[in-house]
Structure 1
Amino acid sequence: MAGADPQRVLAEVFGYDEFRGDQEAIVRRVIAGGDAVVLMPTGGGKSLCYQIPAICREGTGIVLSPLVALMHDQVAALRLAGVRAAALNSSMDPGERQDVIRAYREGELDVLYLAPERLSAPGTVEMLQQGRVALFAIDEAHCVSQWGHDFRPDYLRLGELAEHWPDVPRIALTATATPETHREITERLRLDNAEHFVASFDRPNIRYRIEPKGQVRRQLLDFIRSEHPGEAGIVYALSRKRVEQTAAALAEAGVDAVPYHAGLPAEQRLRAQTRFLREDGVVVVATIAFGMGIDKPDVRFVAHIDLPKSVEGYYQETGRAGRDGLPSEAWLAYGLSDVVQQRQLIDMSDGDQQVRQNQLRHLHQMLALCEGIACRRVFLLEYFGETGAEPCGNCDVCLSPPRTWDATVPAQKLLSTVLRTAKERNRTYAAGQHIDVLRGVTSERVTHMRLDELSTWGIGGDLATHEWQAVVRHLLATGMLESQGEYGVLAPTQDAKPVLRGETTVLMREVPAPRRGGRSVGRGSAGGGSKRSAAAADLTPEQAEVFERLRQWRAAEAKEQGVPGYVVFSDATLAALAAHRPTQRAALTAIQGIGDVKLERYGDAVLAVLADA
């Protein structure tokens, strides 16, 4: 379709009536041969920004993506829409690779997916020079940032594309970039002449919830049972052992949960990913090795049972929920132990002092998000350089404003204890020992170190242990304390001095007592439940029944073709079909997501399902 109008391609190939936001400006910029840097949130439609120019320009659009495991589904989705697409990666046998290379050389492809590592392999540049390149799309471009949360060394070589193909437009795209990372993308990829398109990072359909960690598996199970029974979700944990234990606990409780981490056999990882992508209602428990580029639109929740390492990582991981624009949730439970664990990992890392300082800065920013008493969404937007946002009215802070209290005196007591143990006992301790001193808890260690002789011994008996832990977290988040060394010993910073002198007030949120088990009071069951799909939430009971019949048809069709259901049609498209009940093929084209190719392929079958319903 070289030379085709992009508006026509949007409608006939992808089934949409109009572009969203900056999409049209980006598409026309690249079609005209200009470079672009695109910062757009997950679910904002980044892929159309390079897929449509690849179709409209002469030659093949080369998409550089780190997501080898997902290329098959991305290619399958394009082919179902009538786009000539292929991938070239290490999972293919030599015969398949030669077929793809031949098709590229002969100009038979609109889009070709490559991993950045493949571009660095001997002979790849020469192979690409034997065909015609329409454009280069660099997806997940934040991976080029050496100070970011997801750095990949192979991305550093992508700047060389400007030398080999100086007249071919390049477009770099990401959903996660601070102003600093934005600058790195521009500089390292040599996009000095690019036009920059920065959309809002706001994801208004996602509700952010953060709560103190108690019995975290019970908290997680209650969250899934009460809020998202039978719905697809991702649970992130920090360690492989924790992933496997959590997945097993959820499965035992009736949740259709599977584990995923890099230490599992490749076959088991592929099976878990395939089930998650292609079946309804599967929950995957994973390390952050899972998820980048996940294109599943109906993920209804993302949960973290350990503190993420950075705000960028948290935003990208939570952004995998609600790509279809329907209501979704980001839930996080964290505690003081998370801070200690993260600090230990930083101290044991292989990086130099500058790298560790950067990791520590990320940790404190993440802790500041958790401990904050203002709108979560406003915090996130300001972090990514957007100012002036109003409170969202949809996060936990906005919906249930936390009660605050003046913690100046407890903060002074804690800081004084930290200083006295260092000065009078010539030792530094972790939070637990300081809290024991404040609460007057006697132990063999306390007696041996004569900590019960300190002047602050027992002066904090009015607060429970979990309340003192909250004070420690708050002082760490606000930079008055820092956690040092393998054991997370506490040390005051310069920012603590105004508090000790009584010049600064410490205002922090009240912390509820941690839950200690008990039965879930959630509605529905973990495995199925009666909660209606988010896409069908506004349908009448009769329409919802039609929607479920369409989902059953889609599941059978997707299974036969070996692709995820959303590749056939999204839930939003099925809901629109159920609501409008078209009776003729011509009327199907008015439904978002049904282009000419899908109309030809599925039109009669869809009309038959609607007629039977």
Structure 2
Amino acid sequence: MQQTPISILEHVFGYDKFRGQQEAIVNAVVGGDDALVIMPTGGGKSLCYQIPALLRPGVAIVVSPLIALMQDQVEALRALGVKAGFLNSTLTPQEIYDNEQSIQAGQLDVVYIAPERLIQARTINLLQHSQIALFAIDEAHCVAQWGHDFRADYLRLDVLHNEFPAVPRIALTATADTRTRQEIIDRLALHNAQQFIAGFDRPNIQYRIQPKDRPRQQLIKFLKQEHDGDAGIIYCLSRDKVEKTAAWLREEGFDALPYHAGLPPEIRAKHQRRFLREDSVVMVATIAFGMGIDKPDVRFVAHLDMPKSIEAYYQETGRAGRDGAPSTALLLYGFEDVVKLRQMTSNSEGNEAFRRAEQERLNAMLALCELASCRRQTLLRYFDDELPKPCGNCDTCIEPPQTWDATEAAQKALSCVYRTGQRFGVQHVVDVLRGEKNDRIKQYGHDQLTTFGIGSDISQHEWKGLFRQLAALGYLDVDREFGSLLLTESCRTLLRGDQSIQLRKDAKITTKKGKRQAIEVDHDDLPLWHALRQCRRRLSEEYGVPPYVIFHDATLKHMLEVRPQNTQQLMQVSGVGDAKAQKYGQEFLDVIRNYEYSSGQ
């Protein structure tokens, strides 16, 4: 009986029908056509080349950058009865020779090869003396020279078109905006390829994006209340943050492992294997981890820093919920992320055109973060995919944010940036607005500015949220080298009063309009809040003074946010001077330490 795509799907892979465009893709490649496949993670890309590999005569060569996963991929195919092998640097010379002989003898159906090995003259010669069924270029977005997963060896994969013009090629990726798609086509010479662009929607993933506000506490609350015992990935920008976050999570009782390029290969391999093969492991990683991960039951992906593009965000969040079950993508971001990413962009090796493109991608990512409408609609639109109605499964759909007229506060903020000479970062400008009389402000004479203290009614945290939104909307830029706030041309009409501005109310801005709100404390912080107030009450009785003479409520609230662990950190709290720090400071530090020890935070 002659084999067909559907018979192989049923008998080898155990599915009774194709999904989406799989069948059309398989038929195109089986028929000898080239194909470009953009399909979301979990959409079944692998079947699009594995089934043609079993239908066409010869061996299918799969080009993959994922050396650490090749063994697992081959073992998975072998378990299905497919004759599979791989060629990469982890093999001994004898194993390489044996596999090469098997390729030439036509004894294998599928062979995975790393790109750096494929482009070697020895490998090209081997393939020229073998019968090749097809070339599958997996993770094809790696060819995008300034993309988030660029691999230099991918630039030379046009050798496949030049040396094997009669062999069909299929390039596959889960993530590619219009620009990256064109780059794949150009660099791989796929101009005549059939294009299959599947929908990008992952409806089972709930997207949630929140400003950073004590991110460790936000993360631990998220994990303990929603994903205790689940497998997940937590992304950080730096290796140091990966190490510290993993260590902290282990102290909190989670089976957390670090993963970054600076770890020894054997440690990375060990941690990756544990994550793939054990339940409830939380991987804390840089972007060095995740591409090609086939673990279906990753229940959450959390970002503790903002990704540098929507492409990167989509690719990384897509590692959650490959099995289609409900999963969560949580992103915590702050103004410091914008500064750091813009500095990284300016220090990159690319030319001015590249830096401009990267800046556009970063701005699009920041706009997604500050969005007040459905996040999924905007996310999909970035990839030229449309969702007719709001999704109902992102934070802005579940709890639509309210907006408020922030025109006056924004004018104060922009004026203060101008008055301070556009030479300072957000913390300094906020201190000027709030009327903080610290040494740095006095050093520069900024306590004499007309903007000094004009924003004392707005908290430090709330001001930072306002500046973050102004940057996202293009009214402010950030100096790439020093992180100073810079005015843009767009802010002129706002400063002149020719324009009003609406911002998200979740920035928690309070204004002088109407009654001032009482100190707002999250429910989970109430025990510590009450303990701090009890300490203040005891000290007020001991010293015979009103409680506010010890510390104002606003100062206690700031302590609640900062959680100082020593006198130096306590001195950073608004309302704590030298004398009070010396007289009362230790009492409050003890309260905070005892609370965090007893509550396990």
TM-score bracket relative to the smaller structure: 0.7 to 0.9
Aligned equivalent of 1:259? 258
Closer/same/farther in 2, CA of residues 497 and 277 from structure 1, 3 Å limit: same
Closer/same/farther in 2, CA of residues 391 and 463 from structure 1, 3 Å limit: same
Aligned equivalent of 1:110? 109
Deviation at residue 357 of structure 1 after TM alignment: 2.6
Larger mean CA deviation between 218-227 and 312-321 belongs to: 218-227
Of the three residues 464, 469, 476, the one matched with 1:469 is 464
Closer/same/farther in 2, CA of residues 248 and 514 from structure 1, 3 Å limit: farther
Larger mean CA deviation between 120-129 and 335-344 belongs to: 335-344
- The letter of the residue matching 2:494 is V
Residues 38 and 197 in structure 2, CA contact (< 8 A), matched pair in contact too:
yes
Aligned equivalent of 2:80? 81
SS of 1:303's equivalent? strand
Deviation at residue 418 of structure 1 after TM alignment: 1.5
- For residues 428 and 55 of structure 2, the distance between their equivalents in structure 1, rounded to whole angstroms, comes to 66
- For residues 387 and 293 of structure 2, the distance between their equivalents in structure 1, rounded to whole angstroms, comes to 31
- For residues 290 and 328 of structure 2, the distance between their equivalents in structure 1, rounded to whole angstroms, comes to 16
Closer/same/farther in 2, CA of residues 92 and 515 from structure 1, 3 Å limit: farther
Post-superposition CA distance 1:268-320 (Å, at most 9, x none): 11110000001111111111101111111111110111111111111100000
Aligned equivalent of 1:180? 179
Post-superposition CA distance 1:174-229 (Å, at most 9, x none): 11111111111111111111111111110000000111212222221211111111
SS of 1:295's equivalent? coil
Residue pairs, 1:46-445, within 5 angstroms: 46-422=45-421, 428-445=423-440
Deviation at residue 439 of structure 1 after TM alignment: 1.2
Post-superposition CA distance 1:328-382 (Å, at most 9, x none): 1101111112222223333333433333333322222211111111111011001
Deviation at residue 484 of structure 1 after TM alignment: 0.6
Deviation at residue 517 of structure 1 after TM alignment: 7.7
- For residues 277 and 521 of structure 2, the distance between their equivalents in structure 1, rounded to whole angstroms, comes to 37
- For residues 389 and 293 of structure 1, the distance between their equivalents in structure 2, rounded to whole angstroms, comes to 30
Residue pairs, 1:529-568, within 5 angstroms: none
- For residues 344 and 514 of structure 1, the distance between their equivalents in structure 2, rounded to whole angstroms, comes to 34
Aligned equivalent of 1:20? 19
Where does structure 1 differ by over 6 angstroms across 4 or more consecutive aligned residues? 513-517
SS of 1:494's equivalent? coil
Post-superposition CA distance 1:449-488 (Å, at most 9, x none): 1112222221112211111111111111111110013221
SS of 2:196's equivalent? strand
Residues 35 and 171 in structure 1, CA contact (< 8 A), matched pair in contact too:
yes
SS of 2:157's equivalent? helix
- For residues 418 and 518 of structure 1, the distance between their equivalents in structure 2, rounded to whole angstroms, comes to 33
Aligned equivalent of 1:479? 474
Closer/same/farther in 2, CA of residues 492 and 238 from structure 1, 3 Å limit: same
Percent identity of paired positions between Structure 1 and Structure 2: 56
Residues 380 and 387 in structure 2, CA contact (< 8 A), matched pair in contact too:
no
Closer/same/farther in 2, CA of residues 364 and 514 from structure 1, 3 Å limit: farther
- For residues 408 and 297 of structure 2, the distance between their equivalents in structure 1, rounded to whole angstroms, comes to 48
- For residues 344 and 402 of structure 2, the distance between their equivalents in structure 1, rounded to whole angstroms, comes to 33
- For residues 514 and 217 of structure 1, the distance between their equivalents in structure 2, rounded to whole angstroms, comes to 17
Larger mean CA deviation between 246-255 and 500-509 belongs to: 500-509
Root mean square deviation, CA, Å: 1.8
- The letter of the residue matching 1:486 is E
Residue ranges of structure 2 left out of the alignment (5+ in a row): 509-519, 528-601
Larger mean CA deviation between 388-397 and 349-358 belongs to: 349-358
Larger mean CA deviation between 103-112 and 401-410 belongs to: 401-410
Post-superposition CA distance 1:61-103 (Å, at most 9, x none): 1111110000111111111011111111000111111111111
Residues 147 and 358 in structure 1, CA contact (< 8 A), matched pair in contact too:
no
- The letter of the residue matching 1:466 is H
Aligned equivalent of 1:577? none
Deviation at residue 519 of structure 1 after TM alignment: 9.4
- The letter of the residue matching 2:261 is A
Closer/same/farther in 2, CA of residues 516 and 189 from structure 1, 3 Å limit: farther
SS of 2:112's equivalent? strand
Q: TM-score w.r.t. structure 2 length? A: 0.83
Aligned equivalent of 2:484? 489
Residues 218 and 517 in structure 1, CA contact (< 8 A), matched pair in contact too:
no
- For residues 52 and 15 of structure 2, the distance between their equivalents in structure 1, rounded to whole angstroms, comes to 16
- For residues 319 and 109 of structure 1, the distance between their equivalents in structure 2, rounded to whole angstroms, comes to 32
Deviation at residue 505 of structure 1 after TM alignment: 2.4
Deviation at residue 421 of structure 1 after TM alignment: 2.3
Deviation at residue 518 of structure 1 after TM alignment: 4.6
Q: TM-score w.r.t. structure 1 length? A: 0.82
Closer/same/farther in 2, CA of residues 75 and 519 from structure 1, 3 Å limit: farther
- The letter of the residue matching 1:262 is A
1:507 equivalent in alignment to 2:502: yes
- For residues 92 and 463 of structure 2, the distance between their equivalents in structure 1, rounded to whole angstroms, comes to 59
SS of 1:134's equivalent? strand
Residues 214 and 515 in structure 1, CA contact (< 8 A), matched pair in contact too:
no
Residue ranges of structure 1 left out of the alignment (5+ in a row): 521-613
Closer/same/farther in 2, CA of residues 200 and 7 from structure 1, 3 Å limit: same
- The letter of the residue matching 2:475 is M
